[in-house]
Amino acid sequence: MSTTTKRFYTLDAFRGLAALLVFLYHAPNLSILTKNSFIKGSGVFVDLFFVLSGFVIYHNYKNKLYNFNMSKSFILKRFNRLLPLHIYTLLVLLLLEVIKYLAQDYITFSTIPFESNTIASFWPQLFLVNSTPLFCGFNWNGQNWSISAELITYLLFIITSLVWLKKKKLTFLISIVIICLGYLFFVLKYHTYNIYIDFNFSFIRGFIGFYFGIIIYLLRDTVLSFLNKVSIVLGNLLEGLILIFVIYIVSNMSYYQNYFFIVHIAFGLLIFIFSMEKGLISQFLKLQLFQKLGQWSYSIYLNHTLIIIFYNMILVKTLKVHEAYIIPSELLLIVVLCLYSAFTYKHIEKRFYKQKKQNKPVIKE
């Protein structure tokens, strides 16, 4: 299979697993399943999304974004991909807040309607400017800050791609410059390499991860002939070692967040090694279950706030699940999230995105 059409199935699976880990990071810490050092650091897997995005987007579009019309098709396609589900999930949460407001005279809620989820903070999220100084906090569907950062990064990508995408060496150099400038901003402003110290500038966090993904792809492309000769034994060894390394880094994020470039290196190596698909873990990740998780990953990511709200409302505060049943209830929560995400993928994501894709076959992914 040529490098221009190859699909990285293991990376699809990692996208789904990362979405679940971010969900567990935000879930109530009630058992060993959610109350451990690895899950406590798993919010950082949002940055794996950014690196994956840079790697895959460059792979798919490196020979296509050379003029304004192609760039316009690209950005419209990304809007079609991201916006429908974003709007749907935010409106569902708005509806829930309205219901709470209308029922507050009859039911006592743990939070006052529209106290945390204010109307003023709704608009920056709706228009996806909440990865900028218009950041409004983690109310409503707060994790959509990363969707904002992703879209802003796409705009930077299409602007720069018109200039230098054809030239790999220049692409590599400019990517290095963007990453260094991104880190330099945080060093000069906050005297740290911790790039999530301030979410008012998290779009820069998106820039750094995305262009790091491009660098990983270019490095992979440079040694592709060698990678194709890697044995299964070596592939198994490398996959095992990088997983241990990533787990170690994430489990110690309280320290490594101040040296975030190490996190990017860990995620970059993870993508580099698993893009070879040489080991048994890669073959395992090609199973349909993990491929489905990858397919539903965007829905899992945007839906999990709503699912956690109902979990807290019904199981934790109303039914007050016994400690012995906490882990089963958390596993049930994961199943419910996946089922609901399969539903929104089919009826929201696929309905809009696939239809647009058929109508506009100029850019194929």
pLDDT in tens, 153-187: 999 998 888 777 678 888 999 999 999 999 999 99
Distance CA 25, CA 41 (A): 7
Residues 273-323 have pLDDT tens digits of 999 999 999 999 999 999 999 999 999 999 999 999 999 888 887 778 888
More confident site: 5 or 200 = 200
Is 303 buried (19+), middle (13-18) or exposed (0-12) by CB count in 10 A? buried
Tell me, rounded to whole angstroms, the distance of Cα 6 from its chain centroid: 21
Domain range annotation of the chain: 9-359
More confident site: 61 or 273 = 273
Provide mean pLDDT across the span 22-30. 93
Q: Is 228 helix (H, G, I), strand (E, B) or coil?
A: coil
Residues 123-140 have pLDDT tens digits of 999 999 999 999 998 999
Output the CA torsion sign for 107, 112, 118, 119: positive
Confidence check: pLDDT of 85 > 80: yes
pTM: 0.93
Q: Is 334 helix (H, G, I), strand (E, B) or coil?
A: helix
The CB density around residue 208, as the number of other CB atoms within 10 Å, is 27
> Comparing C-alpha atoms, which of 203, 193, 217 is closest to residue 8?
217
Buried b (16+ CB within 10 A) or exposed e, 110-134: eeebbeebeeebbebbbebbbbbee
